[in-house]
Every structure is written in C-alpha cells, then in structure tokens.
Amino acid sequence: MKKLIYLFLFLLIDMSYIHASDYQAQSTDVIDWRKSGTPAEQLEALVNITPGTHHWMPEIAYRYQSLYWSVQQNKWDFAKYQTKSMEKMIKRVGNARAKRAKSASVFQRNVFKGLYASIESRDKKSFDTAFSRTTRECMACHVKEGFSYIIIPSVPPKPNNIVLGYPE
C-alpha cells in the first residue's frame, strides 16, 4: 500500500513537471508577430485589434452614469471630468470605426455644449435639460445604427464609482 502511495505521488510530481516543461517548449516555438513580423504584418495585426464601438460603448455608458450621479451629489468638477472623458471616447469611436464617424460627430455637436455650460454654471435645472438631450442623442444613434434595442435609461441606476459612494 505504502509503495502504491509513493508511486502515485511520484506520478503526480512527474506529470506536473512534464506539463510545465511542455508549456515552456510550446511557447518557444511560437512566432510572435510583435517581434518577428514585417512592418506590414504588424500593422495588420494592430488594425485587427483596434478597439471598436463595441469596446468603447460600455466605457461611454460608465461615464454617462457617473456624470449623472456626480451632479446629484454636487460634485461638479468630477462631472466635468466625466463629460470630457465621454467626449474623448466618442471621438475615438468615430476615429476607430469610420462607418460611425458621421453619427459620432452629430452626437458631439448636439450634446457637449449644453453639458459643459450647465456644469460651468452649476445649474441643476439646465443640467437636467442637457442630460435629457444626451439620453435622446444616445438613443438616436442606436436607432440609426441598427441597435434600437440598446435602450439608455434617462435616470441611470445607482452611483457606479467609488468617488461617488451612495446617496445620503
């Protein structure tokens, strides 16, 4: 019985060793485009992994939600910061996906001036107007681009950032 246990332990250790060494050997044979690709191959690979709309949208939604709750908590500087980040992301969408560029610039034109002005004047009423406009413009683009089922709430759920905590 003792012998059997030893044999079992030996096999276990040996197997993990083999697996570890297999992994090493396997990874040394791999051709890595970042190191040995031609500039054209590297460029193609980079274009393929450029994040597109699908990648930036959850980030935009996160800014949208944070923006709303910043203003509810009178954190106006943080609200401005979130607005700026949202603007950057929308520009990035237009840049990364040429087919969305037109819609992205319509959004930019219709949304940011009002948001910045209301934040600058720290006026909640005009912020509400600018934020409703933002919600409508998010939806307008989703409808135009064929994603009408991605519905943006006019009051986004709970604060989503540790800077904001929970409402008192």
Binding footprint of ligand HEC on the chain (CB under 6 A)? 53-54, 57-58, 60-61, 64, 93, 100, 103-104, 107, 134, 138, 141-142, 145, 147, 150, 152
Question: CB-wise, 42 or 57, nearer to ligand HEC?
Answer: 57
Report the candidate in 162, 158, 155, 120 with the shortest Cα–Cα distance to residue 134: 155
Closest to ligand HEC by CB, 37 vs 133, is: 133
Query: Which residue, 141 or 164, has its beta carbon nearer to ligand HEC?
Result: 141
